[in-house]
């Protein structure tokens, strides 16, 4: 059994931190009243707290501008991690975002535009982080253990569950600025630790034992095929690959559902059912905690099934993906009929995210199955397109509920979610695959340092001797 290597724990911690930084701003909404023009518009209220004059439009702008930079670096980040290594891309992204988090309170007093620019740049740094993880997993994690590793990426949900109530406490005790200083400092310490503890591959790690390195590299080599990694991305083969598009489309549908449940449905709870789920710290954290718990359970089950050899990787990935999107679809059907009750709605929304956590054992780990050499590029491409799910979700909800925001209007939103989840599941069932794709590698050329090279060197003097005998 391979020892728990250093990369898994480091990545899990990072997921918690990076989500925490982005969640910090969400926790500040009560302290943002309207538009931050020049610095003098930051006012001190009767309770002694600083409040900025940001209206609803400006708040949404400040929250949404993060994704302007985020979508720009996801695909390049995944590809660069494949070329120069995830250690630099991932660690650099986290370090830059942590420093910007520390600067946020200062920049906030400069005005709205500087704050928007800072948030966009922060998104630029963090956009490259997630797609950088699969390339590192391809070098560190044996094929039969990769589902568990991907589950640790879902610690981002755990980060949100922890950060939001912690930010509420910090705001109440130390003021709004403390949330940025604390999360930024934690991120900074983590980033520095990353460069001391994490390395791109077992061969680069200065403290790994020879036995552990041999075991990891042997198992990875056994599951990587006989070819070698191409120097360039086979873009045509990748873009026209149906298994790749199955991952991209299903990821987009799943993320659309996630964004809608997390960002839009609390509005439904408040405006239609008159129940403020965000005011209850435990209820706010439950969906995130549940998603992480299911991710861990499903991933351990998937790896165990793969090691048993009784089922193909394709069947396992399709089974868990179907489970992860079909159950939330069924929940939304129930919500469409009985969603007028607050207790039922909270249960359904929490359950939807809980069962959706099984995607880590399904399509989310699938890029490492079909093309480990280009898993960063695949994940970057999928994450880039799925990032637009938040904007699309907001637009659809606004269009369907722009009149009276009644249960009848919101029922249409629930049916849209049913359709989106079902579509993603069907696409993956038809086109998904767990088989290593032929374009992942090219035929290994004979090496002068290898066996073939030795044979060539031995043949040359024999040929020379034979030619001399012929001349004689």
Pick 26 or 170 by higher pLDDT.
170
Q: Find, among 246, 288, 244, 263, the residue nearest to 389 by Cα.
A: 263
> What's the CATH number for 231-441?
1.20.1250.20
- pTM score, two decimals? 0.79
Asked if domains 1-223 and 231-441 share a fold, the reply is yes
Average pLDDT over residues 118-140: 91
- Rounded alpha-carbon distances, angstroms, from residue 115 to 32, 55, 174, 175, 245: 13, 15, 21, 18, 36
**In whole angstroms, what is the distance from residue 329 CA to residue 422 CA?**
7
Q: How many CA atoms lie within 13 A of 250 on its CB side?
A: 36
Which of 132-141, 263-272, 436-445 is modeled with the greatest confidence? Answer: 132-141
Question: Going by CATH, does the domain composed of 1-223 fall within 3.40.1710.10?
Answer: no
Per-residue pLDDT tens digits for 62-84: 877 888 888 899 999 999 999 99
364-383: average pLDDT: 92
Structure tokens at 205: 């790690």
Closest CA to 428 of 252, 239, 250: 250
Whether 317 and 362 have beta carbons less than 8 Å apart is answered as: yes
Cβ 161 vs Cβ 173: under 8 Å? no
CA-nearest of 70, 445, 389, 391 to 250 is 389
**DSSP-derived secondary structure for 79-103:** HHHHHH-HHHHHHHHHHHHHHHHHH
Tokens in use for 358?
């099984």
Per-domain residue ranges of the chain = 1-223, 231-441
Token digits of residue 283: 């209820």
3-state SS class at 4: coil
* CA–CA distance, 33 with 31 (Å, rounded to integer): 6
Q: Give the model's pLDDT for residue 13.
A: 44
């Amino acid at each position: 059994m391979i020892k728990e290597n250093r990369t898994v724990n480091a990545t899990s911690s990072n997921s918690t931190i990076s989500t925490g930084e982005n969640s910090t701003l969400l926790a500040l909404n009560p302290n943002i009243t309207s538009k931050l023009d020049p610095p003098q518009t930051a006012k001190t209220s009767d309770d002694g707290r600083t409040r900025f004059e940001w209206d609803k439009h400006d708040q949404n702008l400040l929250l949404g501008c993060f994704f302007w930079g985020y979508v720009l670096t996801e695909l390049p980040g995944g590809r660069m991690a494949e070329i120069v290594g995830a250690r630099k891309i991932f660690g650099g992204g986290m370090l830059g975002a942590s420093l910007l988090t520390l600067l946020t309170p200062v920049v906030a007093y400069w005005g709205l535009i500087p704050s928007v620019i800072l948030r966009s740049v922060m998104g630029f740094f963090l956009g490259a982080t997630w797609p950088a993880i699969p390339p590192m997993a391809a070098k560190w994690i044996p094929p039969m253990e990769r589902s568990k590793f991907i589950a640790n990426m879902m610690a981002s949900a755990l980060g949100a569950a922890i950060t939001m109530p912690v930010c509420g406490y910090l705001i109440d005790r130390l003021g709004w600025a403390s949330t940025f200083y604390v999360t930024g400092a934690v991120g900074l310490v983590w980033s520095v630790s990353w460069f001391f503890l994490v390395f791109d591959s077992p061969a680069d790690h200065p403290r790994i034992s020879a036995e552990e390195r041999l075991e990891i590299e042997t198992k990875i080599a056994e599951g990587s095929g006989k070819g070698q990694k191409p120097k360039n991305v086979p873009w045509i083969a990748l873009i026209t690959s149906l298994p790749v598009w199955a991952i991209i489309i299903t990821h987009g549908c799943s993320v659309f559902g996630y964004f809608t449940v997390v960002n839009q449905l609390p509005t439904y709870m408040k405006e239609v059912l008159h129940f403020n789920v965000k005011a209850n710290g435990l209820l706010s954290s439950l969906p995130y905690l549940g998603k992480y718990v299911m991710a861990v359970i499903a991933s351990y089950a998937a790896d165990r099934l793969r090691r048993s050899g009784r089922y193909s990787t394709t069947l396992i990935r399709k089974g868990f993906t179907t489970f992860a999107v079909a159950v939330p679809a069924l929940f939304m059907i129930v919500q469409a009929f009985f969603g007028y009750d607050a207790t039922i709605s909270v249960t359904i929304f929490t359950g939807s995210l809980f069962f959706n956590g099984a995607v880590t054992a399904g399509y989310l780990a699938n890029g490492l199955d079909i093309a480990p050499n280009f898993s960063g590029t695949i994940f970057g491409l999928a994450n880039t397109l799925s990032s637009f799910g938040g904007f699309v979700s907001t637009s659809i909800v606004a269009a369907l509920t722009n009149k009276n925001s009644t249960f009848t209007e919101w029922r249409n939103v629930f049916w849209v979610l049913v359709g989106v989840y079902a579509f993603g599941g069907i696409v993956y069932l038809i086109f998904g695959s767990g088989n290593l794709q032929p374009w992942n590698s090219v035929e290994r050329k004979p090496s002068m340092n290898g066996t073939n090279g030795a044979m060539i060197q031995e043949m040359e003097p024999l040929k020379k001797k034979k030619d001399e005998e012929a001349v004689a």
